Copies of this chain bind each other. A is one copy, B any other.
């Protein structure tokens, strides 16, 4: 089969660090073009200033990976889907839930594949964690996601704007993991969001969820962590404690520790190829739904101003 000709739109850090290598490492794809208004692209690959320009002038493409900030992603995705072009959405899949539902309906109509990607679900420990938890009674869950925003999101102004998610930008990775590995649905019961007085989005959040059997799930998100960083999930069960550390990369079970190589983005692109080949979509908005619920229901506290 011919490789899927894909264009990467939005040539920021995540595109360069993750998408381009993952595409280069997967024979199901060939990188047809890169798109970004301000950037020069990469050696030997056609570079366009906009998706409009690409669709008008070519080269021909079968798929796009949208790595722009979420606030502008809907129009790009809708434009691509309208032409039957398959769409890979970086996380979060949109700035609102309703726009993602609309894209999903559009993909169904046009027959193009839409993939709302959650890279953390492809971290090495996640699939075995899910399998192990499927047969356990969940007693409680603790998520600690504390990182230094100055290290991981230097100068990314959009992340602090309305429609950016603030600390939920990394936090949604944790939510994408726990919505995937926990055997029962869960929902928010209480939340506190701390918003810097000079920003629109939270810098920290304390979230209490419970699952449909009443098991408490506590989530501690903080962007002010200096020194060691934490991206850990602890699940207490009737068969002992499961720990997923390093953002899902390292799984510790009562009996063993499982380490595998990182394959988040290679895993995403393998999945996207399967969807495109099979004519299917995969749009799970549950992590974004939980974030919207936190904004809807959470108590807001104003905290000290944040400067990059």
Q: A150 near B: Cβ within 8 Å?
A: no
A116 to chain B minimum Cβ distance, whole angstroms, is: 15
Asked if A99 and B295 sit within 8 Å, CB to CB, the answer is: no
The answer to whether A99 touches B292, judged by C-beta atoms less than 8 angstroms apart, is no
Q: Given A106-B212, A292-B292, verify A298-B162 contact (CB < 8 Å).
A: yes
| Residues of the B chain whose Cβ atoms lie less than 8 Å from the Cβ of A105 | 185
B290 and A292 form a contact (CB under 8 A) = no
Q: Is the CB of A212 within 8 A of B98?
A: no
Q: How far is the CA of A191 from the CA of B95 in the complex (A)?
A: 12
> Does A183 interact with chain B (Cβ within 8 Å)?
no
Proximity string of chain A (260-299) to chain B, C-beta cutoff 8 Å, 1 when within and 0 when not: 0000000000000000000000000010011111011111
Given contacts A97-B289, A212-B78, contact A187 B296 (CB under 8 A): no
Given A212-B102, A299-B162, A300-B200, residue A293 in contact with residue B97 (CB < 8 A): yes
Interface string of A44-64 (1 = CB under 8 A from B): 000000000000000000000
- C-alpha gap A106/B99 in the complex (Å): 26
Interface of chain A: mostly helix, strand, loop or mixed: helix
Give residues 7-52 of A contacting B (CB, 8 Å): none
Cross-chain contact B300 with A296 (CB below 8 angstroms): no
Q: Which of B163, B187, B298, B300 is A297 in contact with, Cβ under 8 Å?
A: B163
User: B residues within 8 A CB of A99?
Assistant: 187-188
A88 beta carbon closer than 8 Å to chain B: no
Question: Which of chain B's residues have a CB closer than 8 A to the CB of A296?
Answer: 95-97, 163, 291-292, 295-296
